[in-house]
């Protein structure tokens, strides 16, 4: 009878049960293991809610008009491309650009780390259309998968929503998962490419003093140069630089404080929940999802390797010693990658304090991945 009350238990399928188990696993990692809880906890709970039948949280009309709570947040926040650029505004307000300004050479390390994005782009195309005609990734899907190599969740979501929205659950969770797993993924790659002597290279922790004028001019000049070169990067790069200018100008402390605290916290909650909610069983449990996670891991590992190898080259060519490990921070995972470099540097040489040196490539990595996303958008 149609009037009978139905519960979610009656409509549970094996896929829902598996995804609920994955949701509980993410929540366990966030709460008990404290692995990037600000990201994994809302994502995990979003997965949980999306896989309980009959909630209506993700419902839409036949014309695609959202009627559920989470589907509305996704439609207006992600579909309209609002939340990811606004998160970049908050990130800019949180980030001190002075380490990058003090040592502009670290731009090269951030640029070298982007090799993971471009190499994985071609790998995804080969897997989909060349060597193995199994997953059938087209050029837009390959771009969305490749950007995972930047380890930048908002950029991954922004690009995937524009080019391959049906993959947004897999690519976003992969990007955020690898951000959380930076302390586990990067050390083996770094150790494989460096000697103990190289990891122990001492760098003077005192960077060149950066004037207020330099700190103010940098986001303005960088915005002009990057956006003129790659106009489609404006939403991400522009918001990132605006947030930093709020911080550096010295006249908008209240705005910078708001952007770097309550504003970005609210956006992070909304983004995490709606990203997790895209992991519905019928969408997520496909062979393509496993391929995306594998290719994303390759992208992240290659990006780390690219930065380290560039660091080794710069150390050989530079008059001043450069610890090649700081190149590993060229991925966009701020500040997790820089903290990994700091920890490994002190393990190899207790005198080392590499955090500020690593923050330069870390910031350059954010700009590099945002520029790569703009390049993909412009070409495709």
Mean pLDDT to the nearest integer, 16-45:
90
> pTM to 2 decimals?
0.90
Number of domains in the chain: 1
Mean pLDDT to the nearest integer, 146-150:
86
Residue 292 lies in a domain: yes
Residue 85 lies in a domain: yes
What are the pLDDT digits (tens) for 306-346? 999 999 999 999 888 999 999 999 988 778 889 999 999 99
Residue 2 lies in a domain: no
What are the pLDDT digits (tens) for 155-210? 999 999 999 988 888 888 888 878 877 888 899 999 999 999 999 999 988 889 99
pLDDT of res. 1: 45
Give the separation between CA 130 and CA 152, rounded to whole angstroms: 28
Residue 1 lies in a domain: no
Torsion angle in degrees (nearest 10) through CA of 230, 236, 240, 243: 130
Task: Give the DSSP letter string of 58-126.
Answer: T-B-TT--B-SHHHHHIIIIIITT-HHHHHHHHHHHH---HHHHH-TTHHHHHHHHTHHHHHHHHHHHI
Question: How remote is the C-alpha of 329 from its chain's centroid?
Answer: 13
pLDDT tops 70 at residue 129: no
Q: Which domain holds residue 166?
A: 8-59+66-379
Residue 3 lies in a domain: no
What are the pLDDT digits (tens) for 111-123? 999 998 998 898 8
Residue 222 lies in a domain: yes
Tell me 355's DSSP state. Answer: H
């Amino acid at each position: 009878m149609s009037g009978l009350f139905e519960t979610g238990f009656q409509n549970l399928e094996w896929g829902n049960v598996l995804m609920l188990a994955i949701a509980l696993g993410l929540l366990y990692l966030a709460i008990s293991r404290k692995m990037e809880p600000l990201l994994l906890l809302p994502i995990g709970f979003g997965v949980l809610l999306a896989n309980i039948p009959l909630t209506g949280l993700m419902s839409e009309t036949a014309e695609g008009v959202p009627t559920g709570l989470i589907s509305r947040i996704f439609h207006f926040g992600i579909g309209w491309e609002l939340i990811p650029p606004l998160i970049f505004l908050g990130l800019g307000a949180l980030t001190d650009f002075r380490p990058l300004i003090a040592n502009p050479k670290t731009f090269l390390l951030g640029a070298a780390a982007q090799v993971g994005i471009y190499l994985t782009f071609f790998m995804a195309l080969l897997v989909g259309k060349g060597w193995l005609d199994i997953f059938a990734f087209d050029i837009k899907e390959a771009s969305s998968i490749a950007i995972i190599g930047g380890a930048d969740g908002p950029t991954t979501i922004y690009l995937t929503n524009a080019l391959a929205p049906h993959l947004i659950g897999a690519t976003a969770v992969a990007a955020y998962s690898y951000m959380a797993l930076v302390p586990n993924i990067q050390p083996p790659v770094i150790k494989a490419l460096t000697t103990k002597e190289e990891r122990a290279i001492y760098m003077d922790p005192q960077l060149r003093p950066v004037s207020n004028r330099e700190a103010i001019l940098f986001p303005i000049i960088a915005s002009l140069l990057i956006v003129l070169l790659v106009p489609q990067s404006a939403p991400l790069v522009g918001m990132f630089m605006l947030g930093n200018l709020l911080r550096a100008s010295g006249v908008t402390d209240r705005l910078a404080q708001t952007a770097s605290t309550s504003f970005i916290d609210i956006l992070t909650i909304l983004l995490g929940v709606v990203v997790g909610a895209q992991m519905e069983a019928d969408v997520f449990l496909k062979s393509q999802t496993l391929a995306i996670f594998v290719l994303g891991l390759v992208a992240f590992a290659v990006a780390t390797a690219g930065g380290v190898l560039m660091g080794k080259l710069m150390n050989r060519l530079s008059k001043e010693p450069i610890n090649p490990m700081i190149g590993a921070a060229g991925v966009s995972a701020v500040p997790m990658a820089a903290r990994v470099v700091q920890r490994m540097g002190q393990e190899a040489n207790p005198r080392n304090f590499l955090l500020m040196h690593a923050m330069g490539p870390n910031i350059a990595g954010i700009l590099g991945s945002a520029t790569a996303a703009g390049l993909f958008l412009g070409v495709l």
